[in-house]
Amino acid sequence: MVYFKLGPEILWSDNTGGLILHDLIGGLLTVFLIAGFILPLLTDFGLLEFIGVYLTRIMRPVFGLPGRSAIDCIASWVGDGTIGVALTNRQYTEGYYTAKEAAIISTTFSAVSITFCLVVLENIGMMDYFGQYYLTVTVAGVVAALIVPRIPPLSRKKNNYFHDVKKEAGELIPEGLSRTQWGLSLAVKRADASGHIGHLLLNGAKTVLDLWFGVLPIIMAFGTLALVLSESTPIFQWLGMPFLPLLNLLGVPEATAASHTLVVGFADMVVPSLMADLITSPMTKFIVGAVSVTQLIYMSETGAVILGSDIPVDLKDLFIIFIERTIITLPIVCLFAKLFF
């Protein structure tokens, strides 16, 4: 309908379905093509096993997650949040993560890439504030990662494995072996089991096709519908109204305009920074741009990818987590904004 411009214009206009199809889907086709063949390099040749042995002593007590989950965050940070979700889904279906761990990682550690942060900063006209901006986003994201998994709905997810198949992640180090020795042993064993180059290419092609035909249609559908709601109804403005007293309490200039941007990010992460054009206060623009990134879940991409995966998180869960992240990160972002402006 969008490609041939069939049906109501609200579905295929440049601000709704046209934005998703022409500005997002084409890029994701390429990202997924590359990701399909990069993911096996991350998962099948021992990197997760080796790094996981070292990071378990940090990730387990602090976040309640396996050490290998840190790689998901790094993959998202330098690449794209969708790569992090795809990596998490693969680890879940292979039996390395429980349902609860996969849900936490995909909604908490699939961080927004540096490139996307630059896009947001460009939209709000604050490229010279990159250092302050990224420090704010990082601190707020870590605090959210400490709190959100410990409250519903994530805290109520079950610790069972996909089809009850569990793979040993090698977190317990045998006596007489150092971390390096044990990590290297696990990594070599995993690499030995990875098979020949044909097996790698076949798995990569299968992953690409799964992402193209299983995930892209969901992104197209949910992303378009979310943007239609954003464009044609005041629903996101209404949903943002409860945040107005909090914004006033935090002393945010132009609080009413800022409240309109807080929930619209659930449709698409770029929209709040575009709406910031209506705001004149630099501090408020900074807050809008930073919160839109720390919210992490948006239906035009990451949220739709999660819904298209095997990870047990539904639309209601995603919206609740989105609101929780907004409430938790907003005061932190405002505190940093007051320091910088």
pLDDT tens readout for residues 189-203? 888 887 778 888 888
CA distance 337 to 315: 31
Q: What is the pLDDT of residues 90-143, one digit of tens each?
A: 899 999 999 999 999 999 887 777 767 887 898 888 989 999 999 999 999 999
Mean pLDDT of 314-335: 96
Q: What is the pLDDT of residues 282-317, one digit of tens each?
A: 999 999 999 999 999 888 778 888 998 999 999 999
pLDDT value at residue 226: 76
CA distance 248 to 255: 6
pLDDT value at residue 193: 80
What does the H/E/C string look like for 62-120? HHCCCCCHHHHHHHHHHCCHHHHHHHHHHHHHCCCCEHHHHHHHHHHCCCCCHHHHHHH
CA distance 103 to 338: 34
Q: Is the pLDDT of residue 225 over 90?
A: no
Q: Where are the alpha helices (DSSP H) in the chain?
A: 9-12, 17-18, 26-43, 47-63, 69-78, 81-93, 99-108, 114-124, 130-147, 179-192, 197-210, 216-232, 235-240, 244-249, 255-262, 270-275, 282-294, 302-307, 315-340
Q: What is the pLDDT of residues 56-79, one digit of tens each?
A: 888 888 888 888 887 777 777 666
Average per-residue pLDDT in the chain? 87
Provide the 3-class DSSP secondary structure of residue 161. Answer: strand
CA distance 116 to 112: 7
